[in-house]
Structure 1
Amino acid sequence: MLRNKYITLKKAIYIAVICYTLILLFIVATSYICIKKLDQKVYLWIQLENIDRQILEVRRYEKNYLLYHNKQDLIYAMDYIEKLELELEKNSKFIKNLDTKNKIDELKKTINNYKTILENFIEQEKISTAQAKKIRKEGHKIVVIFNEIRNKIIQKLDDEIKKYSLVPILIIFIVLLIAPIGAYILAIWIIKPIEHLAYYAYQITKDQANCIPEYEKWFIKYKEYEQLRKAINQMINSLNNKQQELIQAEKMAAIGTTISGIAHEINNPLNNIFLTAEIIIDSFEELNQEEIQEMLQDIYKEAERAREIVAHLLEFARNKRESNLENIDLRKLVKETLKLVANEIALKGIKEKIILPEEEVFVKGNFNQLQQVLINIITNAIQAMNKGGKLEIRVKKKDYQAVIEISDTGPGIPEDIRKKIFDPFFTTKEKGTGLGLSVSYSIIQKHKGQIEVESEEGKGTIFRILLPVYRKQGRGNVDGNR
């Protein structure tokens, strides 16, 4: 029963995208049908004009014959009569559909009578005044009947053109009304459990709760939240057990504060989720579908990253960790990481300078873990520059090593503290746990790299990450180390 209540966030986003795509296809299909209908109406309008021209030509040659008695004019008139009959036959189906069947039949009958009179005139040497009046009368009757048909058809065409022109506009208006509401509901559906998670995470940091309870308000929940909640609770239990072991072994009496490390480690992804979600809520009417989809994907990525961070903390407590290694371009790693902390940088009024090489700088490693290292270091730099400053990040190659330098203009780190910053649980922050840089140091070591620190009080700090370059070589050797 519980399984039916959960859906993955990825699937929910896919469903939302599919729904919006179907709506878009519906709009396109409806617009296409309306355009085709309009095209038919315009085509019929043109055909009516063609028929009108045929009738005018017949009457012109009729008039010429009555004036000059040239039988060639009768032959020309007969040609146009035949063309007129062809035009009527070709378009009679469309015209009859517009409630003009009786009039069309009357027009055809009149044209046939007119044609018979013309044929008789061709056989006669001379016509009488009565015959001339008769042919004028029949010709005039053709004009009158056709004008009645055309006026009626034009009225109906005007009505249908207006109708088919309004349909796409009406559909688009309805979609524009429904789409933001759907996006807002989806955003709230994603945000509320995260707020619930953040609230209890904060309560845990204040020792006012020892686990995160299940979020009960939504009947359908997304699976990643529940996995994250269970992972955090499992981590809390594991850290509590570790705390007891350390206390019994008389190691690090401050282990009781490790539970608050949850907030430190997952604070960055949660902040990014909140900031992105706030943008969606505050500006969703101004955002288009593509921007909303991109922001929801960012939320999903951050939730995934938070879950992985929790898993890493749990593994750190158990002293076990496995890494899925891949080829990583450090330029991309830096760019993606800066997107996640861009809001914090902007809020603190910090100027950033990014220096990246033109060529790719590849290393072999785990993208999320290396990103976690950069976020930890950059976040420390941001927190060190409360009143603003300058953050510089540089990527370069040095011999067979890839180097990432992160420098800030903060107050610097005293020498006696600098020696301890990578020790587990060492911190100078009031609510810190000292796990951030310790985990970062461990990750870089597992990537066969190093972290160096240079700092001068009053001037700032430089963190330098050195990793082996991954280089593909022509004869099968792909190891960047020599």
Structure 2
Amino acid sequence: MGLKLWQRIIINMIFPIAISLALIYVELRNVNKIYQRFSVIEWVDDINLLLLELRRYEKNILLLIEEKENLKLFHDTISTLRSKVKSIENEIVLRTNTGYYFNLMKNIDLYEEIFETLVAAIDKRQQLIEEIRPFGRAIENKSSNKYMALILRKYEKNYLLYKEKKAIDEVYDISKLLIDSAPEIKQDAGLYIVTFKEIVNNDTVLTNTLQLMRNYAREIEKYTIGFSVKERSYVNTIMINGERAFLYAALFIIFSTIAIAYMVSQNMIRVMREMEHAFDKISDSSFTHIVKTDAPNEVKSFIGAYNRIVSKLNFNLKEKTKKITLAEQTLLQKQSEITAKNSTLRAMSIEILDMIKNKPLNITQTPIKYLILESISSAASNTSPGVSISSNIVELPDKLPTDTLLIRLSIINVIVNALRFTPYGGKVTVTGTVEDTNAAIYISDTGPGISEDIIGKIFDPFFTTVEEAAGLGLTIAMTAIERHNGTITVVSDSRPEGGTTVKILLPVQ
């Protein structure tokens, strides 16, 4: 039993359409994976925020010794941080390895242990300071050389308050002179010197402990940020693969349609050539030629009519030509449907991108100066040496209402971009001030500048002049800043060593 033309087209199209839909279905299932990975990324960001809180409590304890409530806050926060890290243990091991997770937990434990040592050293210093004061007063009261005694107390305070290294030798030398000049204060001076030495030794321990603690904190941050980068890279890979899958599916359907249309048209051309030969026979007044060929039912009926009634050839020819036209219209309709499906796939990709851009803002009072300094450190650590970076942000307000993660990411992206285009021996400068009701941040480099033909494109998604870059850094910065009702602009001198300045304005309120 022969098939009609539209039936043949549908049967031939089932296979490529099925493959394309299967490919699209598989990639659409990855949307759930993307959601899960973003949940993990947000969890890691919470961990990084907890780490910032720990560093704040650490500095409060160092600078404001009497704020003992910070000790409890520190221990509560590090317990929360440890719990959050444990809750994503499987994700960390899956994306890295078991050693990565255990090294992270080990650094958290060491950070807490060394913090206890630091607190003990701080308490001991306070105790020793209380112990040395009566000895100093006794020396002042008993010494006949009141001037030298006052000088001794001056150097003592210079060391205790400002850690002047030269004050140590002065204290020892003046104490010896006072003992030689007034033996009656020998006992008090001896106890004074012993206590002072203990303070100096304890300060050495305190300094070394503080350095260790900072090292552990940086290690924790390195591991958490490293894991976050791996997660984001994984999500980016999934999205790129999805985009490729949609493109491949569309191309597969298009080329399959073209191939099937070609085969059908070739078959139709073959049939029509045979009919042409039959008509040539008719022009030769030969009405006995029978056409025998494999063709769709529509064409077969035309051939049958030709074979049955030669006298009605013109009428049958018009009818069959009309059917062929309808078949071509059906083919064009199928092509239109395929084009519509391609548009739908593109819209789905845009919706996924919009979902990422429209993440709810987590506005907090951000210590903007500290955030900028940290961003400078993070950006500089990922670039090659040879480019210096400096800052002058004293005039900025202490805090700004921002989503800390987005603004930190924006500033890092701009600084990294400046460092990338600054040649060896060049300089990047970060300046902060207040302009009207906005905090203004200027990031300037001594690079070659941006040419006029591309300066209008630098904030476009995926636009880049660096082969290994994704072209999303400045787009992310612009999106995040504009969501804060701020602005980001670029001023560039395209002359050699003209440099580029990026200006960021963020509302103070």
Q: Report the TM-score, using the length of structure 2 for normalisation.
A: 0.36
Higher helix share: 2
